[in-house]
Amino acid sequence: MLYEVVSPKQGTIFNVNVKVGDVVKPDDELAALEAKKEVSIVTAECSGKIEEILVSEGMEVNVQDVLFKIKSDNQEAVANSEHTNADVAILESDITIIGGGPAGYIAAIKAAKLGAKVVLVEENVLGGTCLNWGCIPTKAIVRSAEVYNEMKEASKYGLNANGINFDMSEIIERKNIIVKRLVNGIEYLMDKNNVNIISGQGRFIDKNTIEVITKNKKTLIHSKNIIIATGSETVSLPIAGADSKNVLTSKEMLDKKDLPKKLAIIGGGVIGMEFAFAFASFGVKVAVIEYMDSVLPMLDNDLIKEITRKAKSKGIKLYTSSEVKEIVDTEDSESIVKFIFKGTPKYIAVDKVLMSVGRKPYFKDLNLEEVGVEISNETRGIQVNDKMQTNIDNIYAIGDVTNKIQLAHVASHQGIVAVENILGTNHKMDYSAIPSAIFTHPEIASVGLSEKDARKQDINIEISKFPYAANGKALAMGEEDGFIKIIKEKDSKKIIGASIIGFNAADLLATLTVAIKNNLTSEEIAKTVFAHPTTAEIIHEGVLAFEGGAFHIA
């Protein structure tokens, strides 16, 4: 029987200690490889004769690449090993996780730290959409846009800067370097926590068995518990012409080194508006077409009004209450976007169209029907309880695949909740204080109840606002646009919601998230000392408005 020896990690082979025909026994050193400046020794796990050597010194290898094949007559040793029959590998685990995004890899680390034997199955690259094609790369590009804006506005800081320009290729390269560094970091953490990574697409054979098939082999993973963390995929509207070569997804847009002169964005949600602000900063003429009555319709009206004003000041055209009907390619490589704007037909000619209408849970080819995992009629994601458990007692689901809240930090926390429940700690997922951030310019961040939701629930509330323009640090930074809005339940004085639109809003929100999570009152926060001068003082002033009045506004 043939036994495969595979690479334990990605790295470079720098020493091969055996040749074809050599007889080896368990723990004999076969080769050494260097990964991230550390040396790993590849050893034999059964007795036998070296049948084939598939590597040479200096060769780059990936995790699970086959390095050697050993012919062994010891049937029991091979059967108990992880790689058998040359085509089939058999693994045993306490927890198997399908998907290596923010939900999956955090769950893997948590489980490993708690002593579980963990296998992580990922068909693409660690980090998932968030790290590779979403949260991180978009923020890298947003940051380049912010710096470019500041350079163009240098004169307002008393500085002179001439010949300001940008190189989109360099911006994309910087983005790629950041992404690669973070992916490498996750790979390092997987290795340090002894998480076994299997590359390929996983599918259920039964409720305790996952099959992973790649071009060269099949892996069967027998697992006590399984966590589904397969994330989500982009949605494309059924519009005539949506298959045009000029229609891009956010993933493709993030690698555009040649910017379009004119860009239509279908969808004025979070992703659409972040791209709108970033590319408008680089001189692209942007038009956002949104079906709802406003962009970012989940926000309160005062925040929508402020971000709409800022978008228009950037030259971004906003077409709300609009329905796209067709995309038609022209002979000169442009596309005509036909849509109905408040009942009136409109036509705009653009170089590219960004389809940004949301994401849907991804569980294609998982074979869920084989084990009877239920799909929620409400969310269209995998049905879970507050322990992240599906209707099958040993199968859990976390992240976007549940479609509860499509945020990376929610996915990560769901992963922690699932693992703790699997390993015996009772932990329920709490969605009452979930922060969210939108990286437009200025940033928008919110947590807890919005004003519109609080009023829908007929909660007796009080609202305070404080403007950035009255904050010394904001003025010194040249960032006076925006405000903080805090919502208090009148009877209990507890802070139940907050929103910030302005400089550094996403980071400032953490304080209010802790306050809402821990049921702090306006009085308790008012008695807290905030450092001066900081933009965090807008939180203090916003709360002081409930307790006798803010100091720096009449």
From the candidates 222, 427, 532, 552, give the one annotated as an active-site residue.
Answer: 532
Rounded Cα distance, 97 and 324, in Å: 39
How many other CB atoms are found less than 10 A from the CB of residue 156?
A: 9
DSSP E strand stretches across 307-426: 317-319, 322-329, 335-341, 344-350, 352-355, 359-361, 395-397
Max Cα-Cα span within the chain: 88
Active site residue 413: no
Q: Please give the backbone phi and psi of residue 209, each rounded to the nearest 5 degrees, phi first.
A: -135, 130
CB atoms inside a 10 Å sphere around CB 393: 9
Cα separations in angstroms, 138 against 47, 202, 278, 311, 454: 51, 28, 9, 18, 32
| Chain CA centroid to CA 131, Å | 6
- Cβ density class 222-235: b for 16+ within 10 Å, e for less: ebebbbbbbbbbbe
Other CB atoms within 10 A of residue 401 CB: 28
Give the separation between CA 96 and CA 195, rounded to whole angstroms. 10
What's the DSSP call for residue 194? T
Tokens 């860009």 sit on residue: 263
Annotated catalytic sites, by residue?
Answer: 532
